[in-house]
Amino acid sequence: MSNPIIKLHSVNKSFRSSAGSDRLVLDDVDFTLAEGEIVALLGQSGSGKSTLLRIMAGLIAADSGEVSYRGKPIYGPAAGISMVFQSFALFSWLTVQKNVELGLEALGVSPAEQTRRARAAIALIGLEGFEGSLPRELSGGMRQRVGIARALVLEPEVLLMDEAFSALDVMTGEHLRDDILELWQSGKLPTKSLLVVSHNIEEAVMMADRVLIFSSNPGRVRAELPITLSRPRQAKGPEVNKLVDTLYTEMVSPSNNYSQDKNKTLTRASYGLSTATVAEIEGVLERLVDDPFRGTADLPKLAEVSEISDNSFINAADALVLLGLASIHQGDISVTALGQRFEHGNSELRQQIMGQQIITNVPFIINMRQSLEQQSSGNMPFDNLLKVLEFSLNKSDAKRVLDAMLEWARYGNVIEVDFSKRMIYLPDTAQLT
């Protein structure tokens, strides 16, 4: 590897959950960002990707391990590292020019130099002529360009991009991505390295020299894919499609569903947790069974026609495998015999199959039901379940997972839910076996 710019060794980070316990977010992370490369970081929501970027930027500190920039420890914001956020994070009352100048002002750069460098960055990112505009007068893509210009005006060696294109519509995001790559290839960007966090698998393949896949709860690098294709790369071309296919397979991997970490604690996947809704699961299964796939599909092609985000598709596909409704082999997803019965069954049969599968394959719901059976009252508050989830998830992700798990269990008639009282109950129907 050429000259390393940022190095992380055995980095750990925990946050205090609302229940008062420490939640391990990053566990023993090793990573090196070298000069002259673009690295993409893929992983599900809540896997710690954004936390990792903030540690690299010096915005938060690691609990343990080593974090260095150009061989020197990072103890706070580093002058050579800039970050672009998913939200545009612009000051609505300041013009484009003033928004871009802010970082320079904080560094004590002279007003004349602020003006010169800000105008150069604005022109570089394609916003020349909009220096006097306010954010509300700009489109979403233009506002994100302002955010990128504000990072580039500091002339950083490293640019960290945290879901920088995800708040934009598809066409705008792709156009901005291509502009950034063109600037990178031309050598006009002041940066020597880019680290891009993304949920978009094709975006990662189009941009990166290496793609890292992060596991969840706790976050750590579990796979790396080098990409040696020359730029510019042909979107939808056979070589890009093959790499996209490989990454989809790695992201939606049944071999990881029951994995354990080195401390023998259950990971998010092994606990059967998901944020996929029943509608998303049924929608992806319906697409898989119908024409043109008729039961077997290339994962990226199925994702493309599913009309949901990559992250939602991966969750839904993973749920199909977990529930035994589909299987994955060499980049293809195939409906199982049980999946065929589910897809062609009436509502009652679907609910019966769902109930049988989750009470067999989803440990969190199994434990939920067993806990209810042990309660003399036969009920339990939502808050008890949230406390369990918040041991390994942040509050927002815990709520999303709980909402999905309650929907699965309610759909399969494993539990009953009273949302007004925020309580769950054993169903009145016959016990599941």
- Give yes or no for residue 254 having a pLDDT over 60: no
In this structure, the answer to whether residues 99 and 180 fall within a common structural domain is: yes
- Arithmetic mean of pLDDT, 61-88: 88
In this structure, the answer to whether residues 32 and 170 fall within a common structural domain is: yes
Torsion angle defined by CA atoms of residues 118, 119, 123 and 127, in that order, rounded to the nearest 10 degrees: 80
- Arithmetic mean of pLDDT, 63-74: 93
In this structure, the answer to whether residues 421 and 327 fall within a common structural domain is: yes
- Minimal CA–CA distance to 46: which of 166, 260, 219, 277? 219
In this structure, the answer to whether residues 215 and 110 fall within a common structural domain is: yes
pLDDT score, position 215 = 81
pLDDT score, position 17 = 63
Tokens (6 digits) for 323: 């529930």
- Give yes or no for residue 295 having a pLDDT over 60: yes
Domain count, the chain: 2
Assign 3-class secondary structure to 56-110: HCCCCCCCEEEEEECCEECCCCCCCEEEECCCCCCCCCCCHHHHHHHHHHHCCCC
CA gap 197, 62 in Å, rounded: 19
Q: Which of 251, 286, 318 is the last residue of a domain?
A: 251
Tokens (6 digits) for 85: 């956020």
CA gap 269, 250 in Å, rounded: 13
pLDDT score, position 88 = 66
| C-beta separation of 316 from 308 below 8 A | yes
Q: Which CATH number does the domain housing residue 238 bear? A: 3.40.50.300
Phi, psi of 260 (to 5 degrees): -125, 150
- Give yes or no for residue 19 having a pLDDT over 90: no
Among the residue ranges 100-109, 163-172, 185-194, the one predicted with the least confidence is 163-172
Please check whether residue 304 lies inside any domain of the structure: yes
Whole-prediction pTM value? 0.74
In this structure, the answer to whether residues 247 and 312 fall within a common structural domain is: no
- Minimal CA–CA distance to 314: which of 257, 353, 359, 242? 257
In this structure, the answer to whether residues 358 and 246 fall within a common structural domain is: no
| C-beta separation of 275 from 400 below 8 A | yes
In this structure, the answer to whether residues 236 and 305 fall within a common structural domain is: no
In this structure, the answer to whether residues 231 and 313 fall within a common structural domain is: no
| C-beta separation of 257 from 241 below 8 A | no
What range defines the domain where residue 334 resides? 278-425
Please check whether residue 344 lies inside any domain of the structure: yes
Q: Pick the residue with more confidence: 196 or 171?
A: 196
In this structure, the answer to whether residues 336 and 414 fall within a common structural domain is: yes
Give residue for tokens 């020597």: 192
pLDDT tens digits, residue range 175-203?
A: 888 888 888 988 888 899 999 998 888 88
CA gap 5, 36 in Å, rounded: 10
Write down the mean pLDDT value for the chain.
Answer: 85
Please check whether residue 243 lies inside any domain of the structure: yes
pLDDT score, position 392 = 67
Among the residue ranges 41-45, 251-255, 334-338, 390-394, the one predicted with the least confidence is 251-255
Among the residue ranges 159-168, 253-262, 398-407, the one predicted with the least confidence is 253-262
Q: Which of 14-23, 54-63, 245-254 has the highest mean pLDDT?
A: 54-63
CA gap 269, 267 in Å, rounded: 5
pLDDT score, position 253 = 59
Please check whether residue 431 lies inside any domain of the structure: no
Angular region, 29: left φ>0, alpha ψ -120 to 50, beta rest: beta
pLDDT score, position 117 = 92
Tokens (6 digits) for 271: 């606990």
- Minimal CA–CA distance to 404: which of 372, 365, 431, 347? 365
Q: Pick the residue with more confidence: 374 or 337?
A: 337
pLDDT score, position 264 = 31
Length in residues, the chain:
433
Residues 6+ apart with CB under 8 A from 187: none
In this structure, the answer to whether residues 155 and 198 fall within a common structural domain is: yes
Among the residue ranges 146-160, 280-294, 338-352, 383-397, the one predicted with the least confidence is 383-397
pLDDT score, position 259 = 35
